Structures are given as C-alpha cells and as structure tokens.
Structure 1
Amino acid sequence: MLIRSIVRSIIKQSDKRHRQWNELKTNKLTFLYIKNLTHFLPNRMLYETENLWQDAINTQKFLE
C-alpha cells in the first residue's frame, strides 16, 4: 500500500514536470513569434523579456 502510493506520487510529479516543460516550450515559441511581430518595441524591453525566458528554462533544466 505504501509502495503503491509512493510510485503513484512519483508518476504524478514526473507527469507534472513534463507538462510544465511542454508549456514552457510552447510559450517560448509563442514569445519568439510575438517578438518577430513586435520588432518596433524597444530593444531593452525585448532583451529583459528574453532574459526572463532564459532564467525560466535554466530553472526547469536544474529541476530535472
């Protein structure tokens, strides 16, 4: 019973991480698409947003 609940929790966690990673990848592609559409935005704004994305990706890789 205990082992079953541990295995279930591990599966649930890995599924959650996998889903978050897919969302992050999808959002990154969306961001790149929007970035191409909004080339008139100030470079500083895009640069800061890109840094936030890089931080999110690095954090995700660290968690895996």
Structure 2
Amino acid sequence: MTGRRGVSLRVALKRARVAGFEITRRGSEYVLSHPLAPHPRYTINHRSKDVAPWLISGIVSVEAQQKEAA
C-alpha cells in the first residue's frame, strides 16, 4: 500500500473499510475513525488524488494490530 506514487483515495477507503474504520462524508471531506488507530479521526478531501502518508500509516497500523490479535 505504500510506495513512491502514493495510493488513490478509492483504494485507501476500501482498505479502511475492510479494516473496520467508520467512514462518514461531511461536505467535501471523508472522515475516518477507528478506536485502534493512532489518531482518533482522519479527514481527507474527496478531490485528493493521492492519500497522505499519515492516513496510510494509520490504516496499516490498525491492520497490524488486528493481525496480532487474531
């Protein structure tokens, strides 16, 4: 999921949804939240072409915690 070119918003939202993030739409922004995430809430504009690295690291962190718990 990490790489030089970044990740599209669609791919990031799909990974977040699978990881159990609560995703809500507020105007032109998506708000993602998860109790296991390093930050309580992530906000990203729906017009973004690439997703910020801090959001990617949050999703990966939750996925890693879920794998450890399983």
Normalising by structure 1, we get a TM-score of: 0.33
The structure with the largest helix share of the pair is 1
The structure with the largest strand share of the pair is 2
Q: Which has the larger radius of gyration?
A: 1
